[in-house]
């Protein structure tokens, strides 16, 4: 997807002086919508199935004396989903007088008894259930009945309120625009609020179209955005400054204390601005369905050799945790390893991290100017004027290759390094993972990591699945 963004950026730069705002031609709009929207029969069947599950659950909870309301929410319920989406989200809303433990236990017990399926426990702020039922991915999530802007007992309490707010306001044309926006973002790898993407959620897409009234107006305005961008649909902060610091801020219409755009990274936002500029200049089918380039092993190897640098790949078993925990931990750890290397005179050109979902392989790729750092190290001591500290420094460095000598105001020596290979250094450093800032879930796996260099990184990644090889390609191209 990075290739698509680069092409998009290059094409825009060539025409930066052209300011044209062309609408999406009606025939093309219809063609794209037919391609990305569920058919009327598919949409109707999904809704019927969701409502039948809702009714079953409602009767089951009532028979147990639980006063709950079942909410069918999300893009399927609001007719804003893309073709192939088979997600059914059912929220079980309990009285606020109950405790989280109670609503979770009741939801699990009654759902499993009422709807026969292979239910799996998943975890957000609190546990919820997920299963594939008759081909649909169904989630049953306990929450508390909440009013707009009321203090939340659980973060998921907002979802039924979002459903009501947007269902009442989005027109049919706007629902179509939401689908078009989602496809645009998906095509350029910035659709999804999960940590591995850091992009635009489905809810955010709906809010944006609602605020700007149409996709065309949204893209025209977004083409001129200059972060920080603040959008406040209901004017909750009309007379005061918002407390949010993210590059894109969209005040949640039903909770003024939440930025609905908080997951959007600076990179994703600026990719969207470029996309909006290109769309406003001339919307076309290729923007919605760019051809994804798949790079061969030979192309990847050729690109690596042309750079004239060294590559070091750490391969390890990724822990079985949700992606929204795994990917931030990968990012944090890659940053920590880079910092450790740079502090010890290795020149790091860049790092990336990725995982292969099927094989559960975890990877951190480090590009270095050279795998070996200089064999000679200059070690600086205290200022010459600090007599006692100078004595301690000299006692600790009794056999330098050169020195002691004065460099500026400080005493210094030059010594021969014992560890010059980045692989050896990292292996030793990872014996104390906490000390060097490795994220908690990766400490044990990284102690058993395998180390691959240069062309062997490609062979190793290729053997571990398409996801791993794609991770290297996305870094290089």
Identify whether residues 142 and 250 lie together within a single domain: no
130: β partners: 120, 139
Residue 222, SS3 per DSSP: helix
In terms of Cα–Cα distance, which of 306, 295, 297, 268 is closest to 5? 268
Which own/partner contact pairs does 58-62 have at CB distance under 8 Å and 24+ positions apart?
A: 60/110, 60/113, 60/114, 61/92, 61/106, 61/110
Instruction: Map tokens 């290109």 to a residue.
Output: 278
Identify whether residues 46 and 72 lie together within a single domain: yes
* Cβ-proximal residues to 307 (8 Å cutoff; 6+ apart), any chain: 349, 367
How big is the CA angle at 152 (ends 149 and 157), to the nearest 5 degrees? 95
In terms of Cα–Cα distance, which of 143, 202, 159 is closest to 72? 159
Q: How far apart are the C-alpha atoms of 122 and 432, rounded to whole Å? A: 32
- Pairing type for strands 450-453 and 410-416 reads unpaired
Identify whether residues 361 and 453 lie together within a single domain: yes
What are the residue ranges of helices labelled H in 134-229? 158-169, 172-187, 202-212, 215-222
Categorise residue 79: left if φ over 0, alpha if ψ from -120 to 50, beta otherwise: left
Residue 433, SS3 per DSSP: coil
- pLDDT score at 359: 85
CATH code: domain of residue 380:
3.30.70.1550
Residue 410, SS3 per DSSP: strand
Q: Which two three-digit tokens encode residue 121? A: 């426990």
Identify whether residues 139 and 258 lie together within a single domain: no
Q: Which two three-digit tokens encode residue 175? A: 């629902």
DSSP state of 233: T
CATH code: domain of residue 180:
1.10.1410.30
Q: Which two three-digit tokens encode residue 388? A: 């006692």
pLDDT digits (tens, 9 = 90+) for 99-129: 999 999 999 999 999 999 999 998 877 899 9
Identify whether residues 424 and 451 lie together within a single domain: yes
CATH code: domain of residue 458:
3.30.70.590
- pLDDT score at 20: 56
**Domain total in the chain:** 4
Per the CB < 8 A criterion, the answer to whether 445 and 362 are in contact is yes
**How far are the Cα atoms of 78, 202, 386 from residue 82, in angstroms, in the given order?**
11, 10, 69
For residue 67, count other CB atoms closer than 10 A to its CB: 11
- pLDDT score at 465: 77
* Cβ-proximal residues to 389 (8 Å cutoff; 6+ apart), any chain: 381, 382, 383
Instruction: Map tokens 């804003």 to a residue.
Output: 80
Percentages (nearest 5) of helix, strand, coil residues in the chain? 45, 20, 35
* Cβ-proximal residues to 201 (8 Å cutoff; 6+ apart), any chain: 192, 193, 260, 263
Identify whether residues 307 and 405 lie together within a single domain: no
Residue where a domain stops, chosen among 288, 313, 346:
288
Identify whether residues 305 and 355 lie together within a single domain: yes
For helices 202-212 and 172-187, give the axis angle rounded to 10 degrees. Answer: 130
pLDDT digits (tens, 9 = 90+) for 418-458: 889 999 999 999 999 999 999 999 999 999 999 999 999 99
The answer to whether the peptide bond before residue 88 is cis (omega within 30 degrees of 0) is no
Q: How far apart are the C-alpha atoms of 88 and 115, rounded to whole Å? A: 14
Q: What is the CA radius of gyration of the chain?
A: 27
DSSP state of 52: H
- The model carries a pTM of 0.85
Burial of 80-109, coded b for 16+ CB within 10 Å and e otherwise, reads bbbeebbbbbbbbbbeeebebeebbebbbe
Residue where a domain stops, chosen among 137, 152, 168:
168
What are the residue ranges of helices labelled H in 308-451? 323-343, 387-396, 422-429, 443-447
Residues in the chain predicted with pLDDT less than 50, given as ranges, are 1-7, 9-18
Residue where a domain stops, chosen among 288, 321, 353:
288
Identify whether residues 333 and 358 lie together within a single domain: yes
Residue 196 lies in domain: 2-36+170-288
Per the CB < 8 A criterion, the answer to whether 94 and 140 are in contact is no
* Cβ-proximal residues to 20 (8 Å cutoff; 6+ apart), any chain: 280, 281, 282
**How far are the Cα atoms of 93, 127, 209, 334, 440 from residue 432, in angstroms, in the given order?**
46, 33, 50, 15, 12
In terms of Cα–Cα distance, which of 372, 297, 370, 366 is closest to 330? 366
Residue 144, SS3 per DSSP: strand
Identify whether residues 309 and 457 lie together within a single domain: yes
CATH code: domain of residue 101:
3.30.460.10
* E-assigned strand segments in 246-360: 248-252, 255-259, 310-317, 348-356
Identify whether residues 380 and 283 lie together within a single domain: no
Identify whether residues 69 and 81 lie together within a single domain: yes
- pLDDT score at 17: 38
Identify whether residues 346 and 442 lie together within a single domain: yes
């Amino acid at each position: 997807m990075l290739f698509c963004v680069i092409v998009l950026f290059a094409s825009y730069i060539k025409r930066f002086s052209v300011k044209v705002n062309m609408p999406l031609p009606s025939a093309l709009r219809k063609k794209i919508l037919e391609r990305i929207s569920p058919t009327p029969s598919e949409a109707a069947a999904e809704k019927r199935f969701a409502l039948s599950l809702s009714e079953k659950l409602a009767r089951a909870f009532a028979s147990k004396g639980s006063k709950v309301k079942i909410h069918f929410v999300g893009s399927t319920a609001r007719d804003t989903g893309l073709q192939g989406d088979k997600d059914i989200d059912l929220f079980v809303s309990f009285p606020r007088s109950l405790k989280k433990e109670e609503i979770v236990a009741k939801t699990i017990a009654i759902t499993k008894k009422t709807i026969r399926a292979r239910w799996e426990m998943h975890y957000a702020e609190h546990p919820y259930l997920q299963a594939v039922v008759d081909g649909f991915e169904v989630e049953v999530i306990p929450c508390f009945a909440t009013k707009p802007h009321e203090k939340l007992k659980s973060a998921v309490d907002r979802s039924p309120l979002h459903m009501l707010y947007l269902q009442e306001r989005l027109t049919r044309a706007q629902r179509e625009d939401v689908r078009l926006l989602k496809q645009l973002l998906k095509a350029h790898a910035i659709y999804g609020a999960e940590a591995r993407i850091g992009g635009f959620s489905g809810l955010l897409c709906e809010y944006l179209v609602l605020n700007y009234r149409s996709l065309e107006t949204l893209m025209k305005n977004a083409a001129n955005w200059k972060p920080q961008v603040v959008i406040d649909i209901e004017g909750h902060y009309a007379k005061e400054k918002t407390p949010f610091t993210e590059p894109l801020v969209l005040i949640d219409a039903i909770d003024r204390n939440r930025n609905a755009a908080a997951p959007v990274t600076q990179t994703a936002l600026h990719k969207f601005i470029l996309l909006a500029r290109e769309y406003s200049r001339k919307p076309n089918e290729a923007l919605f369905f760019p051809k994804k380039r798949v790079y061969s092993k030979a192309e990847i190897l050729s690109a690596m050799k042309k750079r004239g640098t060294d590559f070091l790949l750490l391969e390890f078993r990724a822990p079985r945790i949700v992606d929204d925990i795994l990917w931030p931990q990968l990012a944090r750890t890659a940053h920590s390893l880079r910092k450790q290397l740079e502090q010890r005179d290795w020149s790091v050109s860049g790092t990336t991290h990725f995982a292969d979902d099927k094989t559960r392989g975890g990877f951190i790729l480090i590009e270095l100017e050279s795998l070996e750092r200089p064999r000679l190290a200059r070690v600086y001591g205290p200022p010459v004027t600090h007599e006692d500290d100078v004595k301690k420094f000299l006692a600790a460095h009794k056999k330098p290759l050169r020195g002691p000598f004065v460099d500026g105001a400080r005493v210094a020596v030059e010594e021969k390094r014992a560890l010059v290979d980045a692989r050896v250094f990292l292996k030793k450093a990872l014996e104390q993972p906490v000390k060097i800032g490795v994220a908690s879930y990766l400490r044990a796996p990284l102690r058993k990591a395998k180390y691959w260099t240069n062309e062997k990184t490609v062979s190793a990644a290729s053997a571990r699945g398409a996801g791993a090889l794609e991770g290297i390609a996305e870094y290089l191209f």
